[in-house]
Amino acid sequence: TYLYDLTRGPVGQIVCGEKEILVVEKNRVLMPPQWSTVFSWGFHDNTCAFGSYGTEKHMAICENLVDWGGALCAACPNPTTIVTAGTRTVVCVWEVSISKDSVRGNIMLLLFQVLYGHTDVVTCLVASEAHSIIVSGSRDRTCILWDLEDLSYITQLPGHNAALTSLGEIASCAGELLYLWTMKGQLLSWINTSCGPEGNILCCCFTQRHEWDSRNVIVTGCADGIVRVRDIIHRASSNSCSSSGKAWERHLVLCQELNRSQAVSRRRYRNNPAVTALAVSRYGFVPFSYEDSALTVFQALML
């Protein structure tokens, strides 16, 4: 277990590189594939900015978000696309344009399309170029799947009993509830984690193995300061018909808890700071961050 102190505020994104771990604060995302440019939002005047990783200097400031209310979340699936959402209930897809007329270069943000579907504030976003999908979660207790290439509506994920707090590819979290979906919006499994009010799930991610790998797990970070690792177990359905063969169900089974306080002191403390961001590397490391700006890295042997 390794501990790192971060002084700029709660962490919003963690990127696991081949040789290093990159970290940015809340309301910032790193732009692939070099991860050297940072997109920032959430300023008091609703502007946004582009800057260099590791510095406080802005390369460009854009006012394009002003007309669309306060931005609460953003995603960057590729170097030329940024997706934002927030108080206006819409999802905005922007094109990143870099002009070479200037010696330093001029970064512009051009509105490409607005996606309508939510009826309340959009609280979380995830965008995957590999799966060509955008997933947005809202206080209206729904998730919507959008086609990243066509920028069109795919389907809505129903059944959430609380406002969405986090999204993965595709796992959705609403309070203590964790849902697992197919890319077409079919519910595969869900579980009530029942950890109390301090156990609300704030962030989640999958391991980065192949989709068909049975060792894939879902990792969640919670308000109680605990990171929980759950296996995706396949079991025969009790309602399967023998004439048509077995039907399989997916179950989410808790298999490991990662606790910074317990790892350092060998005992479990109450009132741990909430986990605000996490990631899983290809080498079995689980870095995650608390709202007290400290980054913790666990070596998860079972991954």
Residues near 296 by Cβ (< 8 Å), separated by ≥ 6? 1, 2, 3, 4, 258, 260, 263, 287, 288, 289, 290
59-75 pLDDT, tens digit per residue, is 888 988 888 989 999 99
The segments of the chain whose pLDDT lies below 70 read 1-8, 100-105, 159, 161-164, 168-169, 195-198, 208-215, 236-247, 260-271, 282-303
What pLDDT is attached to residue 302?
Answer: 39
CA distance 9 to 214: 36
Structure tokens at 260: 């910074």
Give the span between the Cα atoms of 19 and 9, in whole angstroms.
Answer: 24
Task: DSSP letter for 35, please.
Answer: -
Q: Which residues pair with 14 in a beta bridge?
A: 23
Reading the block at residue 107, the tokens are 């970064």
- Domain regions of the chain by residue span: 1-25+197-303, 32-192
Contact (Cβ atoms closer than 8 angstroms) between residue 39 and residue 28: yes
Q: Cα-flanking dihedrals φ and ψ of residue 247, to 5°?
A: -105, 140
User: How high is the pLDDT of residue 14?
Assistant: 85
**pLDDT for res 297:** 65
CB contact at 8 A, 89 and 42: no
| pLDDT number for residue 1 | 46
Q: Which CATH architecture has domain 32-192?
A: 7 Propeller (2.130)
Are 20 and 11 contacting, i.e. CB atoms less than 8 angstroms apart? no
Q: How far apart are CA 41 and CA 60, in angstroms?
A: 12
Determine the pLDDT at residue 271.
Answer: 63
